[in-house]
Amino acid sequence: MAATMDARLTMAAAIDRARAHAPFLRRAMEQRPDILDRIAAGDLAGALAEGREADAPVARALRRERQALALTVALGDLAGLMPFEAVVAALSDFADRALDLAIRTAIAERAPDAEPRGFAALALGKHGSRELNYSSDIDPILIFDPDTLPRRAREEPVEAAVRIARRVVELLQSRDGDGYVLRVDLRLRPSPEATPLALPFDAAVAYYESSALPWERAAFIRARAAAGDVALGRRFLDAVRPFVWRRALDFGAVREVRAISRRIRDHHAQVQRLGPGYDLKKGRGGIREVEFFAQIHQLIHGGREPALRAPATLDALAALAAAGRVPAEEAAALGDAYQLYRTIEHRLQMVEDQQTHSLPRDPAALDNVAALHGLADGAALIALLRPHVERIGGIYDALDADQPGGLSHDPDLLEQALAAAGFADAGAARARIEGWRAGRMRALRTPAAMEALEAVLPRLMAALGTAPDPNGALNRFDDIVARLPSAINLFRLLEARPALARTVGDVLVHAPALAEALARQPALLDGLIDATAFDPPEPVPALTAAFAAGEAGDDYQALLDRIRQHVGERRFALGVQLIERASDPLAVAEGYARVAEAALGALGAATVAEFETAHGRVPGAELVVLALGRLGGGALTHASDLDLVYLFTGDHRAESDGRRPLGATQYFNRLGQRLTGALSVATASGPLYEVDTRLRPSGGQGLLAVSTESFARYQAESAWTWEHMALTRARPVFGSAAARAEVAAIVADTLRGPRDPAVLRADAVKMRGEMARHKPAAGPFDVKLVEGGLVDCEFAAHVLQLSTGTGLDPHLPRALAALADAGLAAAALPGAYALLVRMLVTLRLVAPGSAEPPAVARPLVARACGAADWDALRSYYEAARAVVSAEWARVAAGEELR
């Protein structure tokens, strides 16, 4: 009797506190006096039973039951008659019952005579572990079996399941004067933005077996088949159990759980310090950190020790302590703190039935919550929490002590960091990084890849932020990652080699052409691992042999692909050498030319062999390729095309000896077409070179391939002055030694032939004027076409070469040196030409559109060209143009060098 009287007095005090400090409870008491009477008498079980109204419509009955439950549990809790475990169990059991009844009702409304099967709700989070808080939502995952789900005629299973899911949510969330039943959040399902509200059984199993993220593993520690077809739900959990509990220690999943915690700490940095506004759930040393502490240890050891798989936090802590996996005193401290936090959390929610976890900032509101708990004021409440918060924060910090610093996971802090790094559109950059961190790309769906990504992100973002278009550079890096089946090797490589990470940043910042190549073929980075990537390319014969070396079973198409890969790697490495200032641009230009010549040699040999299988050979004849332009001169840029002329030796009237014979002219014209295709057609490995054959005899109207005899006759009798000027850089690059010598002799004879210097000058001046009118410079940094640029220098050189017979060397630096040494050209001309070529080669990578390079790239361009800074380079550039302009004007006027 005394115990009953004490309980009634305690309950009366609790009712008084609730009336005074919890408006939600006060209204509930007014609306449900019948329930209040049973509670006041100490009959909590009777109050809960009376709250169920079997005869009312389902939605109303559940709302009324929830109202009675909320009042009974709150007052039982405040009076100390219901311990924490009983409170959360009562709330969780009601959620199970409500969810189950909603599912049965939704199915019955659509198929009245069908058994309610084939549709199950998996409870996750605190609902799954039967620890639901006072005003919590529930986060179920809904699954269905297409074979057993009741549905209407001609209705697809997915359509039926989605309609059932929508009705379940409506039954639980709709409000009236009696309130609501439960808030429902379905966003824990895989890819909620793209998947239906209910998932087919097999598809869901396949996702969790192959694609789920580590945080989803942690979520399933507390998963439970809670409602609907519970047998179906249990079968699903049995199927995904190996995904959740792995026998191997999985520190990748542990890192992901820690990363979630860091994201929460970042986001709630303003409420980390205990005081008004402190977030009991997400703050440092709060509820989440107790839960994560337990889950981390469960993920590590639970695969081998089933006894550690307890869903409830308090049970998990006890199991971990019993197994010796965590110190007993730590487990006890964590458990005590957890019960206190959850109790105070319930007090916060009882005030107005709001899903809040934060202590009020307003002093009066904080005092009110404290009084509801039976404390003097808010200061007493904070004093009650302080030792627990400090102890739990320290325990959890010890877990995370070895984690390196990185970019924040909080959206606001991350955006601030990106803006400070130089991203003009920091919001877009933040969204891109958040997409990576969410694991939306297949390459980022492993813990190891995510860990490596976080390790390189700060350095990478700092580098990209200096780009002229940081967001564009970030998007190019995104393209690279998107093309990878797995990013783990890329990120491990960048993490292990910080210099390479800097190189990638430099490429994305400074070299759009290289960045695009890297986006198409991320494997290009592999070629930079070896230190020899920064050496000049081998001589052409060695390169040709390396390119042509096949593998067993290779066919012609495979060879085309492999050569493209080799060339791509070499060209990329040469571009990187320039960006990283490891090589002089002149050496890089010569390297580009050697690579192109070797590719032509390897592809030429393979194409000839392939062609001969069908058409045989033309006796006494062979294909010869004559290079003109920059390839002939042995110095290309990254963007250069190949100026080629196809010739053949022997009698043009001969015929091939294969099973499908062709006349010599037709034979070599078709062979030339094949070789052009081999060099220029894009394969699975991408494009190679653009080929320009318009410098052949008679230009675009002439045959693609002509005999050496016809070529000699054309040059002697019909060629224009500009064609002889182009021939000054002609060089045979494919064919036997004898065939090349024959063509070289024709070129030499042509260049040394008699000509009228006045006519030569007049033709050159006219041609240069037409070029300036039809193809003007794109701007002051169009180094090739600008007045005093490379074209003017080349015109001056070619007129001097042809008029004097001096310096007839396709390699223009040697030709200019010979002309200067002979007193025929200004002594400053070779140096001016070298500077212009350095600028051209560098700018083709840094500013492909011939515009002035962006400010961030100017120091790179200046240093590559031998200047201390951009202002100095501009000064050198103007001086070089002045030298070239004066020299071209002098040569065009026929004046002697003074």
pLDDT tens digit string along 394-404? Answer: 898 887 554 44
**What is the C-alpha radius of gyration for the chain, rounded to an integer number of angstroms?**
40
pLDDT reported for residue 193: 78
Taking only the tens place, the pLDDT of each residue in 11-30 is 999 999 999 999 999 999 99
Each residue's pLDDT tens digit, 338-367: 999 999 999 999 999 999 999 999 999 999
| pLDDT one-digit tens code per residue, 828-883 | 999 999 999 999 999 999 888 777 888 888 998 999 999 999 999 999 999 999 99
With contact defined as beta carbons under 8 Å apart, do 151 and 198 qualify? no
pTM: 0.59
- pLDDT number for residue 262: 63
Helix (H, G, I), strand (E, B) or coil at 894: coil
- CA 599 remoteness from chain centre: 32
Buried b / exposed e across 400-416, counting CB within 10 Å, b at 16+? beeeeeebbbbbeebbe
The residue type found at 455 is A
CA angle 183, 185, 188 (to 5 degrees): 155
Residue 498 above 80 pLDDT? no
Residue 67 has pLDDT above 70, yes or no: yes
**Inter-CA distances, 887 with 678, 713, 726, 794, 825, Å:** 41, 33, 19, 11, 7
What is the reported pLDDT for 402? 47
Handedness of CA 437, 440, 444, 445 (dihedral sign): positive
* Rounded Cα–Cα distance for residues 467 and 579 (Å): 13
> Residues 453, 454, 458, CA angle at the centre, nearest 5°?
105
Taking a C-beta distance cutoff of 8 angstroms, is the pair 164, 106 a contact?
Answer: yes
Q: What does the DSSP assignment read for 285-316?
A: TSHHHHHHHHHHHHHHHTTT-GGG--SSHHHH
Task: List helix spans (H) across 621-756.
Answer: 629-632, 664-680, 708-717, 721-727, 737-751
d(C-alpha 500, C-alpha 573), whole Å: 12
**Within its chain, how far is the Cα of 788 from the centroid?**
44
Q: Mean pLDDT over residues 618-647, rounded?
A: 95
